[in-house]
Amino acid sequence: MRTLDQLDLRKGFGRFATGVTVVTCANDRGEPHGATVNAFTAVSLEPALCQVTVTRRSKICGYLLDAPFAVNVLAAEQLDLAWHFAGKPGDTAPRWAQGATAPVLAGNAATISCRPWRTYDGGDHLIVLGEVVELDSTEAEPLLFYAGQFRQLGTRPSGSHWAASLDCPDLGWFPAAPAA
How far apart are alpha carbons 168 and 15 in whole angstroms?
Answer: 24
For the segment 71-83, the average pLDDT, to the nearest whole number, is: 96
Query: Which residue would you say has higher pLDDT here, 164 or 88?
Result: 88
Q: Check: CATH 3.20.10.10 for 6-156?
A: no
The full set of domain ranges for the chain reads 6-156
For the segment 5-9, the average pLDDT, to the nearest whole number, is: 85
- Phi, psi for residue 78 in degrees, rounded to 5: -105, 30
Given a contact cutoff of 8 angstroms between Cβ atoms, the answer to whether 109 and 55 are in contact is: no
Q: Is 72 helix (H, G, I), strand (E, B) or coil?
A: strand
Give how far Cα 45 sits from Cα of 16, 24, 170, Å.
23, 22, 17
How far apart are alpha carbons 144 and 28 in whole angstroms?
Answer: 30
pTM confidence score: 0.83
pLDDT digits 0-9 by tens, 111-127: 999 999 999 999 999 99
